[in-house]
Structure formats: structure tokens, C-alpha cells
Amino acid sequence: MPEWLEVTVRSVLFVIVLFFMTKLIGKKQIAQLSFFEYVTGITIGSIAGESIMGLDGNLSYGLIAITIVAAIPLIAGLISLKSKKFRDFTEGKGTIFIKDGKVMEDNLKKERITADELLQLLRRKDVFQVSDVEFAVLEPTGDLSVMLKKENQPLTPKDLDMKVASIKEPQTVIMDGKILDEPLATIGYSRGWLKTELEKLGVTIENVFLGQVNSYGELTVDLFDDKLQVPSPQERPMILSTMKKCQADLELFALATEDKVAKQLYTKNSKKLQNAIDKVSHILKS
Amino acid sequence: MTVVSDVKQCLASLKGVEASLSNLAKRTEDNSSKRTLHETMMEVSEIVADLKKRVGELENEEYQYKGY
């Protein structure tokens, strides 16, 4: 076999081997989450390189070495699933850098992180002022996780005592002008329903780049032809406004009528409707 | 006086709301939203029942408006 052919064969072979090895070890290997994955990543790479180019060496030795090196993180991963102590040893523990808003200088020294590097790590998390931080820990992977003081954390609906409607993930039902049957079936709709909804929007399926259905069963689309205006779903705001109108009507009737019993009935029902509106408006507002 | 027709219009709108809410509740996947929508639908249907009674009374009072 000429040497160039042998190199080609070996390269292809090792690319395939490396592909399956990495698949086997899983996503952890790609993210290089722990010490083991980091080390094996480097080692497997250099063994493969050596085996491809070392034409005089035996090919099978390279394969054996790669298998062993790949098996170690696999076994270590299985053991660390069971044992916390082993996990702490192999994957390492986080180092607390900031606690109760105060920088732990000793821990910085232990990890050999300078003040500049700490600031840099914080900036990567969009924190520019150390005093904004309540707690920060350097993860074994080298990322800094930051918990801001409560007053510096983003405002959430919970802070404002706001009611928000919980939603489920939307399903993509049209892609590149083609209907995706599986997600459509997941949310329990048929092609016929989708065609009707598209007709309501006044667009053809060929013109739709992306179409998604939200948890209220409303279809939203993005078209290839960006000049075309697509109406946004109006049903929910429409219900809300009709309810508001009826509530105002009932109040008006209560004022207009002279019959006492009727007045009472109108007032009672307008209040009831107002309560209903308050209860449901967070869902109907889009 | 056009009160009867006004009330009837309001009644019709509320019936529409009731139907839309029930439709929306049926389609909504999130369970808590579904429940809230359903409860609201029930409340609206109570109001509809009340208004229907009132329309009946008004029609008796103002016989000439019956049928609108």
C-alpha cells in the first residue's frame, strides 16, 4: 500500500472512531465539564494524531489506547453517579469567591485568581460593580456563577404581585412551506384545521417560512414575502373588549332603569362581570 | 325607549363571549389557564341566564318590542 493511501485510510478510520467515542462518552465530553473529560479530550486527540502519522507503528495499538482512554471517563462517570465523595474528588468542588457581599481573598489566592481576573469573570456575567454581588462561586468548570443582591436582580412579575398566564411551549407546525405532521399531532390538530387557519390569515402554505401554534391554539406565521402584512391573532383581546363593553352596558342599564328590582339585578351582574374580567384579563391580554 | 333592544344586544354579545371563552378553554393547553377560562365561562353564563329573565320581563312590560 502506498504511504499516502495508508494515511488516508488511517485518517478516515480514526475520524470515525473518534466520532463514535465522543458520542459514547456523551455531551459531557464536548462541554469538557470535568477534569477527566478535559484530560481525555487532549489525550485521545494526540493518540489519534500519532496513530495516523506514525506509519511504522501498529494501527491496533492506537485503537487500544483510544478505547482505554475513552473508557476511563465513562467508568468514572458511572462511579460518580453513585458516590458523592468520588464525585467531589474527580470533578472538584466550586470555590466560593464572594459571600455575603464580601470577597473571600483567601479563596482567590487558593485558585490563583487575581483581582483583575475576578473583575473580568464578573464582567462576563454583566456585573461591573462588586458591591452588587451577594454570592459568587467559581464552578469546577471554570465558570463564575453569580447571585446578585435582591435589589439588583431583574424585576419579576412575582415582585409586582402581577398575575401572569402560564404558557406551554409553542409547536412549530410549518417549516419552509411544508407541514410538519408530528408536532401538529402532538397538539391535537389536523391538516384541515391548519388549512382553515391559514385561509383565515389569507396566506398560502407555500408562502409560509415558519408557522407556530401557541398554547392557546393560535397560529402565527412568518412569510417569505415580507411585504405582506399578516394580522396578529385578535380573538383573545376581542373577548376581553366585548366583556368590558358589556360590563359598561350593564352599569348603564342600572343607571337608566327606574325599576328597583331590575336596578339591583343589573348592578349585581355588572359587578359579577367585573370580577370575571379581573380574573381572566391576564390570560386574554396578549 | 329602546331599553329592550339594548339589553338584547348586550345579551347577544355576552352569549358570544360565553361561546368564545368555552372555545378558548377547550383549545388552551395549560391546565390552570384552562380552568380559569372555564370558570369565567360559567360566570358569564350565569349573567346570561339573569339577563334572559330580565329580557322576558321587559318584553311583557313593553309588548310592542317583542320579537326584536
Instruction: Judge whether B15 is closer than 8 Å to chain A, CB to CB.
Output: no
Per-domain boundaries in chain A: 3-89, 95-152, 235-284
Instruction: Judge whether A249 is closer than 8 Å to chain B, CB to CB.
Output: yes
Who contacts A44 (Cβ-Cβ below 8 Å, separation ≥6)?
A18, A21, A66, A69, A70
**What is the radius of gyration, based on Cα positions, of chain B?**
15
**Cell digits for A40?**
481525555
Number of domains in chain B: 1
Q: CB of A231 within 8 A of CB of A201? A: yes
Q: Which fold has domain A95-152?
A: CRO Repressor (3.30.240)
Instruction: Judge whether A193 is closer than 8 Å to chain B, CB to CB.
Output: no
Question: In this complex, do B47 and A275 lie within 8 Å of one another by their Cβ atoms?
Answer: no
Domain that holds residue B25: 3-65
Split at pLDDT 50, 70, 90, the class of A286 is low
Alpha-carbon distance B63 to nearest alpha carbon in chain A (angstroms) = 17
Is residue B67's pLDDT more than 70? no
Percent of chain A scoring above 90 in pLDDT: 46
Query: What's the complex ipTM?
Result: 0.87
Question: In this complex, do B37 and A280 lie within 8 Å of one another by their Cβ atoms?
Answer: yes
Q: How many CA atoms lie within 13 A of A116 on its CB side?
A: 0
> Using CB atoms, which residue from B20, B30, B40 is nearest to A276?
B40
Question: In this complex, do B3 and A238 lie within 8 Å of one another by their Cβ atoms?
Answer: no
Instruction: Judge whether A272 is closer than 8 Å to chain B, CB to CB.
Output: yes
- Tens digits of residue pLDDT in A119-145: 999 999 999 999 999 999 998 888 899
Alpha-carbon distance A176 to nearest alpha carbon in chain B (angstroms) = 26
Amino acid letter, residue A52: I
Which chain A residues are Cβ-neighbours of B10 within 8 angstroms?
246, 249-250, 253
Provide long-range contacts, Cβ within 8 A and 24+ apart, for B53-56.
B54/A262, B54/A265, B54/A266, B54/B7, B55/B4, B55/B7, B55/B8, B55/B11
> Using CB atoms, which residue from B7, B29, B46 is nearest to A168?
B29
Q: Cα(B59)–Cα(B68) distance, rounded to whole angstroms? A: 10
Is residue A30's pLDDT more than 80? no
Question: In this complex, do A217 and B40 lie within 8 Å of one another by their Cβ atoms?
Answer: no
Question: In this complex, do A243 and B6 lie within 8 Å of one another by their Cβ atoms?
Answer: no
Cα-to-chain-centroid distance, residue A32: 20
User: Which whole number is the average pLDDT over A55-77?
Assistant: 83
**Cell digits for A178?**
411544508
User: Which whole number is the average pLDDT over A64-86?
Assistant: 87
Who contacts A154 (Cβ-Cβ below 8 Å, separation ≥6)?
none
Which chain A residues are Cβ-neighbours of B14 within 8 angstroms?
246
Split at pLDDT 50, 70, 90, the class of A258 is confident
* pLDDT at res. A243: 93
Question: In this complex, do B36 and A187 lie within 8 Å of one another by their Cβ atoms?
Answer: no
* pLDDT at res. B65: 55
Instruction: Judge whether B42 is closer than 8 Å to chain A, CB to CB.
Output: no
Is residue B66's pLDDT more than 60? no
* pTM passes above 0.80: no
* pLDDT at res. A191: 92
